[in-house]
C-alpha cells in the first residue's frame, strides 16, 4: 500500500504545526483605564466619564458614535478584554501565538474634533498600551496611535516609541478621518513611520458621520451600514493614498488594511490601473501602476473573511490581489463576529500558503521573532 507523498502530508498541516499571528486583536481602552496616563486638564474629563454605563463604542466625547438602531433583545453581547493576562490566556486557547493589539474605543478617535484633547488622549493611550499590555505577557505586540488631528505630534510619538521592541506598527484611525489618509498634511506621520521602519495600519469601524463614507444615515438598519462602511472606507483611503502619491513619496513605507476583508482589493486594483492609463498626466509622480504599488508594499488582513459558496473562489481572489504573500490572518478577537483561525485552514490551498497567511507574513512585516519551537 502506498504512503501519502510529502506534499500531501504537508497539506494536512494543522494550526499546531505553524506560527499563528493575529493581526487584529482589540483591547478595552476605557476612559477610566486611560485616565491615569492622561495629562491635565483632560484627565478630569476621563475621570468624569469613568464608571458610567454607556453602550458599546458610544461614549460621548471619547468614542463619539451616533447609533441609529434600537436595542434588540437576543443580539450578540458585546465583549471586551481588560487585562494582558486575560488576553494571553484567550489567544492561547484559540491557538494564536502572537497578537497585534488595536484599540476598541479609539477606533472612533478620528471623529474627535478638539485637537488639544485628541493629542492628550493619543498620548495617554500609547502610554497605557505600553505599560499595561506590551510589557506584561509574551506574544503581545501593539501599534501606536497616530493622531490625525495633530500630525507633528503624531510623528514625535512614532519617534518616541520606534525603539520599543513590542511596538511594531502605527495605527491610523480610519472611521471618520477627514481628510483621508493620502492628504499631504499627514506627511510627517508617513515620514516618521518610514524612518522607524514601522508599517502603518488602517483600521475602520462603522460610524455615521459627515466624513467618508458619508450618508450612511440613510440606511434604516445596521445591516446595510455594516455592509458598506468598512470596505468603502478602505477603498476611499486606498484611492486617497495612491492618487496623492504616498507610495512614491515614501518608497519604503509599508501599508496594512485591516477589518475590511479582501475581496474588494482586486476590483480596486483593476479600476485604478484603468484610470491610471487614461489619466496618467494627472498623477505624473506615480512611477508604477497602482496595482504594482499594492502588490509590492501593501498587505490586507482577512477579517471579516469572505465566505463564498465555493471556497476556491476565495483562493482565486487571493491570487488576484498578489497571492498569499499579501495576506495577514486576523480574527478581530474578542468581538462577537471574530474569525477563528480555522477559517483560513479550510481554504483549498497548499500548506505553505496557509503558513504564510497564518503567521510568516506578519512575522516578516512586523519584525517579530518567531516563538520558540515554532520555526
With respect to residue 140, please indicate whether it lies within any of the assigned structural domains.
yes
Q: Are strands 21-26 and 98-102 parallel, antiparallel or unpaired?
A: parallel
Residue 36 has pLDDT above 90, yes or no: yes
Q: What is the pLDDT of residue 1?
A: 37
User: Bridge partners of 141?
Assistant: 100
Of 26-40, 88-102, 273-287, 334-348, the poorest mean pLDDT is in 334-348
Q: Is the dihedral of CA 27, 29, 35, 37 positive or negative?
A: positive
Residue 375: pLDDT band (50, 70, 90) is low
With respect to residue 296, please indicate whether it lies within any of the assigned structural domains.
yes
With respect to residue 159, please indicate whether it lies within any of the assigned structural domains.
yes
Q: Are strands 167-173 and 255-258 parallel, antiparallel or unpaired?
A: unpaired
Q: Work out how many domains the chain is built from and give that number.
A: 1
The residue-averaged pLDDT of 26-40 equals: 97
Residue 373 has pLDDT above 90, yes or no: no
With respect to residue 372, please indicate whether it lies within any of the assigned structural domains.
no
With respect to residue 6, please indicate whether it lies within any of the assigned structural domains.
no
Distances (CA, A) of 68 to 209, 218, 219: 12, 10, 9
Give 364 or 60, the one with higher predicted confidence. Answer: 364
pLDDT in tens, 273-296: 999 999 999 999 999 999 999 999
List of residues 6+ apart from 71 with CB closer than 8 A: 55
List of residues 6+ apart from 270 with CB closer than 8 A: 291
Rounded Cα gap, residues 36 and 127, in angstroms: 10
With respect to residue 127, please indicate whether it lies within any of the assigned structural domains.
yes
Q: In 360-370, which positions are buried (b, 16+ CB within 10 angstroms) versus exposed (e)?
A: bbbbebbebee
The distance from CA 312 to its chain's CA centroid, rounded to whole angstroms, is 25
Residue ranges making up the domain that contains 146: 20-366
CA angle, 163 then 168 then 170, to 5°? 100
For residue 190, what is the domain's CATH number?
Answer: 3.20.20.140
Q: Under a CB-based contact definition with an 8 Å cutoff, are residues 254 and 298 in contact? A: yes
Q: 67, 19, 26: which is closest to 341 by C-alpha?
A: 19
Of 211-225, 230-244, 320-334, the poorest mean pLDDT is in 211-225
With respect to residue 375, please indicate whether it lies within any of the assigned structural domains.
no
Average pLDDT, the chain: 93
The residue-averaged pLDDT of 340-351 equals: 94
With respect to residue 13, please indicate whether it lies within any of the assigned structural domains.
no
pLDDT in tens, 109-143: 999 999 999 999 999 999 999 999 999 999 999 99
Q: What is the pLDDT of residue 35?
A: 98
The residue-averaged pLDDT of 182-186 equals: 98
Q: Under a CB-based contact definition with an 8 Å cutoff, are residues 183 and 236 in contact? A: no
The residue-averaged pLDDT of 320-344 equals: 95
Percent of the chain with pLDDT over 70: 97
pLDDT in tens, 86-95: 999 999 999 9
Q: 184, 152, 158: which is closest to 171 by C-alpha?
A: 158
Residue 307: pLDDT band (50, 70, 90) is very high
Residue 2 has pLDDT above 70, yes or no: no
Grid cell locating 356: 504564510
Amino acid at each position: 500500500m502506498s504512503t501519502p507523498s510529502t506534499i500531501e502530508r504537508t497539506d494536512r498541516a494543522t494550526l499546531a504545526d505553524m506560527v499563528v499571528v493575529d493581526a487584529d486583536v482589540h483591547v478595552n481602552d476605557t476612559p477610566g483605564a486611560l485616565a491615569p496616563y492622561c495629562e491635565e486638564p483632560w484627565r478630569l474629563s476621563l475621570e468624569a466619564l469613568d464608571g458610567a454605563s454607556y453602550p458599546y463604542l458610544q461614549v460621548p466625547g471619547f468614542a463619539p458614535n451616533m447609533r441609529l438602531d434600537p436595542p434588540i433583545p437576543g443580539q450578540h453581547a458585546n465583549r471586551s478584554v481588560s487585562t494582558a493576562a486575560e488576553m494571553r490566556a484567550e489567544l492561547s486557547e484559540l491557538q494564536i501565538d502572537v497578537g497585534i493589539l488595536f484599540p476598541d474605543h479609539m477606533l472612533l478617535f478620528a471623529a474627535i474634533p478638539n485637537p488639544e484633547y485628541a493629542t492628550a488622549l493619543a498620548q495617554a493611550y500609547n502610554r497605557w498600551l505600553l505599560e499595561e499590555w506590551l510589557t506584561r505577557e509574551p506574544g503581545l505586540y501593539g501599534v501606536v496611535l497616530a493622531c490625525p488631528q495633530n500630525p507633528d505630534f503624531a510623528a514625535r510619538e512614532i519617534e518616541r516609541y520606534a525603539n520599543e521592541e513590542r511596538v511594531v506598527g502605527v495605527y491610523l484611525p480610519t472611521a471618520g478621518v477627514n481628510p483621508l489618509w493620502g492628504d499631504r498634511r499627514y506627511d510627517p506621520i508617513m515620514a516618521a513611520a518610514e524612518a522607524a521602519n514601522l508599517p502603518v495600519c488602517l483600521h475602520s469601524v462603522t460610524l455615521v458621520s459627515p466624513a467618508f463614507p458619508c450618508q450612511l444615515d440613510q440606511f434604516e438598519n445596521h445591516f446595510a451600514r455594516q455592509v458598506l462602511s468598512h470596505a468603502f472606507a478602505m477603498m476611499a483611503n486606498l484611492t486617497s493614498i495612491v492618487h496623492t502619491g504616498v507610495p512614491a513619496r515614501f518608497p519604503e513605507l509599508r501599508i496594512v488594511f485591516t477589518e475590511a476583508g479582501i475581496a474588494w482589493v482586486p476590483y480596486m486594483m483593476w479600476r485604478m490601473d484603468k484610470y491610471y492609463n487614461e489619466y496618467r498626466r494627472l498623477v505624473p509622480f506615480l512611477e508604477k501602476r497602482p496595482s504594482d504599488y499594492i502588490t509590492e508594499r501593501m498587505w490586507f488582513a482577512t477579517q471579516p473573511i469572505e465566505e463564498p459558496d465555493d471556497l476556491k473562489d476565495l483562493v482565486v481572489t487571493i491570487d488576484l490581489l498578489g497571492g498569499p504573500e499579501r495576506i495577514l490572518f486576523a480574527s478581530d478577537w474578542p468581538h462577537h463576529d471574530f474569525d477563528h483561525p480555522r477559517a483560513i485552514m479550510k481554504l483549498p490551498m497548499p500548506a505553505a500558503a496557509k503558513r504564510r497567511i497564518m503567521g510568516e507574513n506578519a512575522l516578516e512585516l512586523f519584525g517579530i521573532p518567531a516563538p520558540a519551537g515554532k520555526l
